Structure 1
Amino acid sequence: MNGLRYPCLVRDFIQDRLYQPNKGYFMKPDHQLGQLTGELRYHDFKGIHSYREAIGEKYPKYAFLTPVEIFQPWYGHAIANYCLEKQKSPTIKIIEFGGGTGTGALSILDFYKNNHMQTYKKVNYTLCDISPVIAETAKARLSKAHPELYRNGQISVIAKSAFDYQKITEEFTYIIALEMLDNLPHDRVWMENKEYCLQSMITEDLEEKKEPLTDKIIKDCLDVYTNMPPMSDSDRESEYAEGFIYNLIKYWNRKKYDNLFLPTGIYMLMNHFKKVFTNPHFIFSDFDFLPGKKIKGINAPIVSKKGEKSNEKKDFSTFLTPVGEADIFFPTNFRFIQELNRKIYGKSGGVAKSYKFMEKYAKSNWTETQTGYRPLFDDFRNTSFFTSD
């Protein structure tokens, strides 16, 4: 089983399903990380229906798309704009983890090249992705689009996990992760007598067993999670602003469960970053809520396999799938990230819905259709940004 020892913790099992060399979902040689087959010309779309038709036509086979891909280059342009506003030195240094085939990096670098040449000449960009195949694609795209920066060593592409990145960095650095956190492994804990005191273990027969909670990482992560401050009034008002249907769906997903999928992967990653980055500025974007989950539990994942057509997918009712069979992705608890950042770096940072971030750092007409519908602002309302400013 390629080194996975049973019984194992849920986080180790999920890590193996997604990232086992050559066999994991993201590691297979023939794996496609979603790329549109052509750029979307938003101003040519009449409205929401023609936009969605175009998405369907350009959607890749057997792969999911993320906002940075769909809204290229505008999504990356907004992030580049944000970095300019927060920059503290003449040189912008960026490390992007889970950078995929380089669409985000290309969008950011293109923005500087076309609008801020002095910044462009001094930028330093490192893209890190765990998949060797995907990293090679990113390297080819970036070296072709920005050959001078690549020759000067200002662009580098590394095929390794964020956990394996060990280069100590003391200068102010933007750490970007776009739709990466949702694929970080979680553990599953169970409540008994109103207390989380049991942990899930996976057997070689792919059965889930409960046993007394003994794992130190789970205990430490659970301590942070269960002691998060309550939602503020502004947080609640932000949720209410999403509208009746959105809040109704979230209400029905807030059933009282006796188990929790605990974000131990994020907990471990942030603690790893503390060892490596002295002065980081985090820019994380991901899904804060996932509707339609078949697995029961707080923060439960969606386990899904993409079909050939844009609307075709197979959802699983369990995460106990064969190696590489399906994507396993979780909603991101941004309040937990805030609390982690406060404990590790001494400041909580800010959380904003993606459309709020775009309202500040993107131009309103970048993706505007003829009816005024703006997908960059109006689509993917279940996503948020965390920034450690």
Structure 2
Amino acid sequence: MSRQNLIEDPQYTPEKVAARAKYPIITAKDAAKNNTMPVAVKMLVREFIDDSLYHPHYGYFSKQAVIFSPETDFDFERIRDNMQFLDIIAEKYKEIEDDMDVRDEIARQVWHTPTELFKPWYGYAIAKYIVTEYKLNNYPHKDLIIYEMGAGNGTLMLNILDYIQQFEPSVYERTRYRIIEISKKLAQRQGERQEVRDVTKRHGCVEVINKSIFEWDTPVPDHCFFLGMEVLDNFSHDLIRYDSVTEEPLQGMVAIDEDGDYTEIYTPVQDPLIQRYLTIRKQSGYKSPVLSRRFLRRLRNRLPFAPNMTAPEFIPTKLLLLLETLKNYFPQHRLVLSDFYTLPEAIPGVDAPVVQTRYSGTMVPCSTYMVMPGMFDIFFPTNFELLRDIYQQVCRPSLGMEKSVKVQTQKQFLERYGDLEKTRTLSGENPMLMYYENNKMFLS
């Protein structure tokens, strides 16, 4: 059996292997040219996930996802405790989901973010950080320019600008806010958020750019803050395994046969992006957990029917593309990121994603990412410490680590910049600190 195959399986018959060898390799961009799902093709894992999430016709974010956003802000000072807050959220969720089930034939998934649950106070904390850093380094000689990638409903944009307008009017006069949004629907919604406001509360400094950050090609020489809040988790990853004897990395691909069935296959790494990522990661000194315990692995290799590849490992190649985009087109950026660093119920593998869908009002986790495109959310944890090291090499090679990047928990960030009295319940509990304990902040 070839070392590209993991186990003996009916899917790996000589006839099927020969047929798959002739399948053309396509990308998510190729698949986007058609409204139907591709068959008789092969795709790198990141391209398959990209297609599942972002295809303009059947992708998950094109038809499934709905961002939970309460019509009115929560009055935490009138809420008894965290349990009552949970009950209130559950009731509002049920109202939204029941309404969608009545209107829609498909079961949409509602998901929430700290920006929406704790508005405007979470956005105010981000704004306070940005203004503090801006005043320390650029005020009053340069404008405050903010780019936000993937702005969802536009809530964070409104909260940040409201804060600056109210508490920092002299800074507000020099503020410009630009949203980079891949979704046409969300870009439209972000613009509409301003239109429903009173004229005196609209922000004329906002520009919405309906474009993928991965297609950005305009140099931005200005000093700017670049925000990505809860967007990294949906950046597609590649999948690699290592030959259990030689430790050669192998790139994962998904073969889609004529019937639309999926098979995971492995070949030696040839993709330039995977090669770049592995080279940069190696320079950081990172050692993959799947390559630990070499002695035990060699002993196991001598056993009958031993696997000829290591456990799977998911690598954030699209995240590397973001860093390269920042380096090439936003050389004077300050990066602000927030996302999950660990996730429950992930599929097997190092830095593996959670794959889930909603069924009858219940979230159902899956055991593989090879699911029908568009029907499932696929989201990943971020190894922020490894991200810091790779960011240092790509974007800030001339600066010392301690001067370049800070990684801290979201709770630590909010304890410093948040107005905690505004999110404290009658019992003294603070849901803004208690929720999203598996989130970290990345500040460059």
TM-score interval (norm. to shorter): 0.7 to 0.9
Native 8 Å contact 2:194 2:203 kept in 1: no
Q: Counterparts of 2:360 and 2:116 in 1: how far apart (Å)?
A: 18
How many residues were matched structurally?
359
Q: Does 1:355 align with 2:395?
A: no
Shift of 1:58: 2.1
The structure 1 segments of at least 4 consecutive aligned residues displaced by more than 3 Å after TM superposition are 1-5, 143-152, 226-231, 306-309
Q: Counterparts of 1:27 and 1:159 in 2: how far apart (Å)?
A: 14
- Residue identity matched to 1:378: M
Q: Counterparts of 2:210 and 2:69 in 1: how far apart (Å)?
A: 19
Q: Counterparts of 2:198 and 2:173 in 1: how far apart (Å)?
A: 11
- Residue identity matched to 1:107: N
Q: Counterparts of 2:232 and 2:254 in 1: how far apart (Å)?
A: 23
Q: Does 1:324 align with 2:374?
A: yes
Aligned match of 1:159: 210
Shift of 1:159: 1.7
2:139 to 89, 92, 100: 89
Q: Counterparts of 2:285 and 2:381 in 1: how far apart (Å)?
A: 19
Aligned to 1:189, what secondary structure does the other structure show? strand
Aligned to 2:251, what secondary structure does the other structure show? strand
Q: Counterparts of 1:163 and 1:315 in 2: how far apart (Å)?
A: 29
Q: Counterparts of 1:146 and 1:81 in 2: how far apart (Å)?
A: 24
Shift of 1:308: 6.4
Q: Does 1:369 align with 2:421?
A: no
Q: Counterparts of 1:208 and 1:119 in 2: how far apart (Å)?
A: 53
Comparing 281-290 and 159-168, the one that deviates more: 159-168
Shift of 1:162: 1.2
- Residue identity matched to 1:34: F
Pair 278,148 (structure 1): closer, same or farther in 2 beyond 3 Å: farther
- Residue identity matched to 1:224: I
Q: Counterparts of 2:393 and 2:318 in 1: how far apart (Å)?
A: 16
Aligned match of 1:69: 116
- Residue identity matched to 1:220: R
Q: Which has the larger radius of gyration?
A: 2
Aligned match of 1:200: 252
Aligned match of 1:264: 317
Pair 23,116 (structure 1): closer, same or farther in 2 beyond 3 Å: same
Pair 146,172 (structure 1): closer, same or farther in 2 beyond 3 Å: farther
Q: TM-score w.r.t. structure 1 length?
A: 0.87
Aligned match of 2:92: 58
Comparing 88-97 and 130-139, the one that deviates more: 88-97
What are the within-5 Å matches in structure 2 for residues 233-382 of structure 1? 258-293=311-346, 295-307=347-359, 309=361, 312-346=362-396, 347=399, 348-382=404-438
Pair 258,194 (structure 1): closer, same or farther in 2 beyond 3 Å: farther
Native 8 Å contact 2:238 2:317 kept in 1: yes
Aligned to 2:420, what secondary structure does the other structure show? coil
Q: Counterparts of 1:129 and 1:57 in 2: how far apart (Å)?
A: 30
Q: Does 1:134 align with 2:199?
A: no
Aligned match of 2:440: 384
Aligned match of 1:252: none
Shift of 1:130: 1.1
Pair 2,280 (structure 1): closer, same or farther in 2 beyond 3 Å: closer
Deviation per CA, 1:15-36, whole angstroms, max 9, x where unpaired?
Answer: 10011113211123x7423323
Shift of 1:301: 0.2
Native 8 Å contact 1:102 1:142 kept in 2: no
Shift of 1:273: 1.7
Aligned match of 1:98: 150
Deviation per CA, 1:245-282, whole angstroms, max 9, x where unpaired?
Answer: xxxxxxxxxxxx62210000101111112111120000
Comparing 174-183 and 38-47, the one that deviates more: 38-47
Q: Over aligned residues, Cα RMSD in angstroms?
A: 2.2
2:228 to 174, 177, 180: 177
- Residue identity matched to 2:75: R
Shift of 1:166: 2.5
- Residue identity matched to 1:116: E
Aligned to 1:365, what secondary structure does the other structure show? helix
Structure 1: runs of 5 or more not aligned: 232-256
Native 8 Å contact 1:7 1:203 kept in 2: yes
Native 8 Å contact 1:73 1:107 kept in 2: yes
Native 8 Å contact 1:38 1:58 kept in 2: no
Q: Counterparts of 1:160 and 1:100 in 2: how far apart (Å)?
A: 14
